[in-house]
Amino acid sequence: MKTIYADNAATTAMCPEAINAMTDCMNNIYGNPSSLHHIGQEAARVLTAAREDIASCLNASPAEIYFTSGGTEADNWAIRNAARLGKLKNKNHIITTAFEHHAVLHTLKKLEKEGFEVTYLDVHSDGYVTPEQVAAAIKDETCLVTIMFANNEIGTIQPIAEIGAVCKEKGVLFHTDAVQAVGHVKVDVKEQNIDMLSLSAHKFHGPKGTGVLYCRKGISLLGLMQGGAQERNKRPGTENTPAIAGMAAAMKKACAEIDKNAEFVSGLRDKIIDEVLSVVPRARLNGGRENRLPGNVSFCFEGIEGESLLLYLDLKGICGSSGSACTSGSLDPSHVLLALGLPHEIAHGSLRLSLCEYNTPEEADYIIAEIPKVVSRLRDMSPVWERIMKEEQK
C-alpha cells in the first residue's frame, strides 16, 4: 500500500540538509559551547553560525534570536514577558484572537486567573481578523497584542504587517506565533513590524524540540527559568547544539526555496480543493481561498465524523488530521472551526490535509480519487446524513 503523508502542519519529515548538519554535529562537535577550550569553542561557533543564518532568514540581527525548546516555549516566553512588562506599568490588558494555538490560548487563560483581562477578537468566517479590529480593541491598559501569523488548522494568513503597524503606532507590543508561516511564506520582522515572534524547527523539515523566540532589540526580555548564563543570561541550560544546527540548515534551505516550493505546493492544494468541492456534495472549504498557506487544505463534510474519515483514509494510506494534532483525542470540535461560526455538527466532519514539497501530483490525484469514495461510504452508514437527505427532499 502506498503511504501519503499529508499532515505537515502537525510535523514534517526532516530534510537531508538538517539530518546531515545534525549527524555531523553529533559525530564531531560534542563540546559544551560554554567551555573555554577549543572543543567547546567549536560548538560555540556552530551556535554563532546558526544564529546568524536564522536571523538573516527573518531580517533580524543575531542578538535578537533566542533558542528555545520549540514553538510552545517561545509562545509562553513572549506572552509572559509582555505580561510582566505590562504589570510594571499597571497595564493588564491583552488582545488576541479566538483561534490561536493552545500554546497561546492556555497561557492567556492562566494570565486571566492571575488578574489580566484578555480580549478575544472575533474571527471572520473566512478565517482572518483585521487591523481595524485590533485598533478598536486597544486601550490605555493594553500591554500586548498576540496574533498568529497563519492558522495551523485552516491555513489562513493574517494581515500581520498592517496589524504590526497599528501596534507600533499605538505603542503596544506585538507578538506573532509564526510557527506555521516560517519557511512557507515570507516573514520579515522589520517590514512586518513584529516585536516578538515564535518559530519551531519541526514545521519546516527541521528537528523536533527546538525553536526560536525573536525579540526585537530594545524590548527588555526576562528569563522564565533560573540557571546558567546561556542565551545572554535569558535562557539557561546547555544548548542543544545538534538540533540548533539542524534547525538552521532546514531554515536556510526552506527560505532559499520558498517561492519555488510555494508555487508547487499551492498547485497541489488548489487541485485538491477544486476537485473535491466539485465532486462531493455538501462539502465546504474552511477559510478563504485568498491568503492561505500553500500547503493547507481544510474541509468540512456534512453528515460524517472527522475521526472516522481519518481512520478510513489511513486505511487507504493517506495520513491527514481532523484538525490539529493537539486536540485529537478529545471529542470536542475544534475551537478554530467554532471560531469561524460553524455549528458543532458541521465542525465535527472536518479534515485537514497539509501538504509539502515532498508530495507529488500523483499523490494529489490519489487523494482526489479516494476522498469522495470514503466520504460517500461513511455517509451511507450515517443517520445524520440520512436526516439531512430527508430534509432536502421536503
Catalytic residues: 326
Q: Which stretch binds ligand PLP (CB under 6 A): 118-126, 176-184, 269-277, 282-290?
A: 176-184
* CB closer to ligand PLP out of 104 and 342: 104
Work out which of 180, 261, 359, 382 binds ligand PLP, going by CB under 6 A.
Answer: 180
Q: With beta carbons less than 8 A apart as the criterion, state whether 18 and 250 touch.
A: yes
* CB closer to ligand PLP out of 271 and 335: 335
Of 202, 251, 255, 246, which is closest to residue 20 (Cα–Cα)? 246
Work out which of 177, 231, 302, 357 binds ligand PLP, going by CB under 6 A.
Answer: 177
Among residue numbers 116 through 155, which ones bind ligand PLP (CB under 6 A)?
148, 152
Q: With beta carbons less than 8 A apart as the criterion, state whether 97 and 148 touch.
A: yes
Residue 294 sits in the site that holds ligand PLP (CB under 6 A)? no
Residue 72 sits in the site that holds ligand PLP (CB under 6 A)? yes
Pairing of strands 142-146, 350-354: unpaired
Q: Which stretch binds ligand PLP (CB under 6 A): 20-28, 66-74, 293-301, 306-314?
A: 66-74
- Closest separation between CB of residue 179 and ligand PLP, Å? 4
CA separation, residue 16 to residues 13, 24, 167, 275, 389 (Å) = 9, 12, 40, 33, 50
Residue 262 sits in the site that holds ligand PLP (CB under 6 A)? no
Residue 70 sits in the site that holds ligand PLP (CB under 6 A)? yes
* CB closer to ligand PLP out of 15 and 103: 103
* CB closer to ligand PLP out of 164 and 183: 183
Residue 302 sits in the site that holds ligand PLP (CB under 6 A)? no
Work out which of 29, 95, 103, 138 binds ligand PLP, going by CB under 6 A.
Answer: 103
- Closest separation between CB of residue 101 and ligand PLP, Å? 4
Residue 101 sits in the site that holds ligand PLP (CB under 6 A)? yes
Q: What is the DSSP string of 360-386?
A: -HHHHHHHHHHHHHHHHHHHHT-HHHH
Binding mask 186-215 for ligand PLP (x = CB under 6 A): --------------x--x-------x----
Q: What cell numbers appear for 393 in the block?
A: 427532499
Q: What is the DSSP string of 171-202?
A: T-EEEEE-TTTTTTS---TTTTT-SEEEEEGG
- Closest separation between CB of residue 77 and ligand PLP, Å? 12
Q: Which stretch binds ligand PLP (CB under 6 A): 54-62, 67-75, 188-196, 327-335?
A: 67-75
Of 259, 265, 257, which is closest to residue 295 (Cα–Cα)? 265
Helix (H) or strand (E) holding 350: strand 350-354
The 3 state secondary structure assigned to 307-323 is: HHHHHHHHHCCEECECC
Work out which of 33, 71, 164, 306 binds ligand PLP, going by CB under 6 A.
Answer: 71
Report how far residue 339's alpha carbon sits from residue 124's, in angstroms, rounded to the nearest whole number: 8
Residue 22 sits in the site that holds ligand PLP (CB under 6 A)? no
**Using a CB cutoff of 8 Å and minimum separation of 24, what contacts does 169-172 make?**
170/135, 170/138, 170/142, 172/138, 172/142, 172/143, 172/144, 172/145
Q: Which stretch binds ligand PLP (CB under 6 A): 71-79, 217-225, 338-346, 363-371?
A: 71-79
Of 263, 303, 300, which is closest to residue 284 (Cα–Cα)? 300
Give the list of residues 6+ apart from residue 377 with CB closer than 8 angstroms, or none: 312
Give the list of residues 6+ apart from residue 320 with CB closer than 8 angstroms, or none: 6, 7, 310, 313, 351, 352, 353, 354
Q: Which stretch binds ligand PLP (CB under 6 A): 173-181, 276-284, 331-339, 383-391?
A: 173-181
Q: How many residues touch ligand PLP (CB under 6 A)?
A: 14
- Closest separation between CB of residue 205 and ligand PLP, Å? 13
Catalog residues that contact ligand PLP under the rule CB under 6 A: 70-72, 75, 101, 103, 148, 152, 177, 179-180, 200, 203, 211
